[in-house]
Structure 1
Amino acid sequence: MRVMVIVKATTDSEADKMPSTELLAAMGQFNEELVKAGIMQAGEGLHPSSRGKRVRFSGAKRTVIDGPFAETKELIAGFWLWKVKSMDEAVEWVRRCPNPMEGDSEIEIRQIFEAEDFGDEFTPELREQEERLRAEIEQQAGKAK
């Protein structure tokens, strides 16, 4: 199963306060462990919401909203994509993670939908399209290296 591991924002991350060298080194070591274990597929930190945008949808109308966004506890400071055997395994890895912030922080784990989760609504044609797009993404990623 694949999961997205979401590092929640804090007032410090939203204020664009950079992590210490020690924290960066500890997170780098943790990422090394994830890669060696075959768990980590991707992971990135995000700039504060003051540099972000939101697009609100209402029928055919689109409204662009500039950051910063209010509820810090609802914002994301970074993420990983992991491939694990179970949610319990993901929890165990998160328990080993260095605290991603200087103070209190929170990490959320969410399972990623797989094709079989969509049932009959995900027709053979849609499955073929999904597979083709994934292959194209992998090919583009290979060229970018």
Structure 2
Amino acid sequence: MPRFMLIMRATDEALAQMMATPFEEMLEKVGRFNEEMIKAGVLVAAEGLDDPSQGVVVDFSGETPVVTDGPYGETKELFGGFYVIDVASKADAVEWARRLPAMTGSKCEIRRVPTIDEFPQDNEWVIKELAWRERTGQV
């Protein structure tokens, strides 16, 4: 089955609304949604991200990479977390995304995650990655 990433994006307003929501209430909403995906057998991974101000950006626009603290660009350009789900189709991924416990003003971008078997299997780097995946129990 194909895998899809649901990328969570929030506007400044949605982020403010989320920050105003009691933490226990947020955990309850997200926990119930996660439990639905686990019971349905579609959840592969799910992670939230720390505050963008705690991040670091490595910018490759010049000859030498430049490292800066804090978020890159506007906060509306940042994503706050993701789910990776294993479903039969993009339509199924859309249906799961529609059920997300997201704040008003949030968006969810859906992108298919290609699998390693879609790349040339005789490529030296693909062969090395497959060997690493096998050594680490990912295959």
Smaller-chain TM-score range? Answer: 0.7 to 0.9
- For 1:86, the aligned partner's letter is S
Q: Return the TM-score normalized by structure 2.
A: 0.81
Could you say which residue in structure 2 is the equivalent of 1:87? 90
Query: What do you get for the CA RMSD once the two structures are aligned?
Result: 2.6
**Secondary structure of residue in 2 paired with 1:61:** coil
**What's 1:67 paired with?**
70
Cα 1:105/1:15, change in 2 over 3 Å? closer
Runs of 4+ residues deviating >6 angstroms: none
**1:71 maps to amino acid:** E
Cα shift at 1:104: 1.9
Structure 2: state its 5+ residue gaps: none
Hey, what's the Cα distance between the residues in 2 that align with 1:54 and 1:18?
Answer: 27
Report if the CA contact (8 A) 2:8-2:108 is conserved: yes
What is aligned with 1:34?
37
Q: What displacement does 1:83 show?
A: 1.0
Q: Is the 8 A contact 1:16 1:47 kept in 2?
A: no
The question of whether the paired residues in 2 share the 8 Å contact of 1:14 and 1:49 is answered with no
Structure 1 equivalent of residue 131 of structure 2:
132
* Cα 1:96/1:58, change in 2 over 3 Å: closer
Compute the TM-score of the two structures, normalised by the length of structure 1: 0.78
> Which stretch shifts more, 73-82 or 127-136?
127-136
**Structure 1: any 5+ residue segments left out of the alignment?**
140-145
Alignment check: 8 A CA contact 1:43 1:78 kept: yes
Equivalent residue for 1:47? Answer: 50
Farther-moved stretch of structure 1 (11-20 vs 86-95): 11-20
* Aligned residues with identical type, % of pairs: 41
Q: Contact 1:52 / 1:68 at 8 angstroms: preserved in 2?
A: yes
